[in-house]
């Protein structure tokens, strides 16, 4: 193994051999909190994806779930945390979530980032929103890639993907 092979191998360990699902990220800071608005490079997602993603995140990375909300565009979000907890801490078993809404959010402590994390899904869009105290765009990008690909606990967790090819 030559000198360049060592660099090549290290680079491969940090990236997965696939194109990213992240088209763009906007980072906004307000005090200690950071908001990362993510535009996906994939087709918009729907309610079933939102429910399964929230359940996946609660099982794979988020602990001590402190808040679950759902809401409509023209009204304030409804806190459904108690209903969620009475439903085995699963969105898929929470009766009120059998009816689609415009948004769903889950907040807790990320085991991976060791920091508070709130994830918001917006129905029938290509947008995800992440709130955290972590001020590191590269780390958050790896985290988002892992959320989208559902690769927590695998060799591909917390790795970047290749950029979207220019057309």
DSSP single-letter state for residue 119: E
pTM of the model: 0.89
Which one, of 42, 49, 36, 52, lies nearest residue 21 by Cα? 42
- Does residue 84 or residue 7 have the better pLDDT? 84
Residue 65: band (very low, low, confident or very high) from pLDDT cuts 50, 70, 90: very high
Which one, of 48, 39, 88, lies nearest residue 68 by Cα? 88
Q: Do 149 and 43 meet the contact criterion of CB atoms below 8 Å apart?
A: no
* Interior angle at CA 88, CA 82 and CA 92, nearest 5: 95
Cα(24)–Cα(3) distance, integer angstroms:
34
């Amino acid at each position: 193994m030559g000198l360049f092979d060592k660099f090549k191998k290290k680079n491969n360990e940090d990236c997965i051999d696939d194109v990213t699902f992240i088209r763009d990220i906007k980072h906004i800071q307000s005090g200690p909190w950071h908001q990362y608005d993510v535009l996906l490079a994939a087709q918009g997602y729907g309610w079933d994806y939102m429910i399964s993603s929230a359940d996946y995140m609660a099982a794979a990375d988020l602990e001590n779930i402190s808040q679950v909300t759902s809401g409509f565009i023209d009204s304030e979000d409804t806190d459904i945390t108690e209903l969620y907890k009475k439903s085995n801490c699963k969105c898929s078993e929470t009766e009120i979530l059998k009816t689609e809404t415009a948004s769903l959010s889950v907040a807790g402590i990320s085991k991976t980032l060791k920091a508070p994390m709130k994830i918001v899904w917006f129905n029938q869009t290509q947008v995800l929103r992440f709130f955290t105290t972590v001020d590191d765009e590269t780390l958050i990008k790896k985290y988002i890639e892992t959320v989208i690909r559902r690769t927590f606990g695998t060799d591909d967790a917390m790795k970047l993907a290749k950029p979207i090819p220019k057309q």
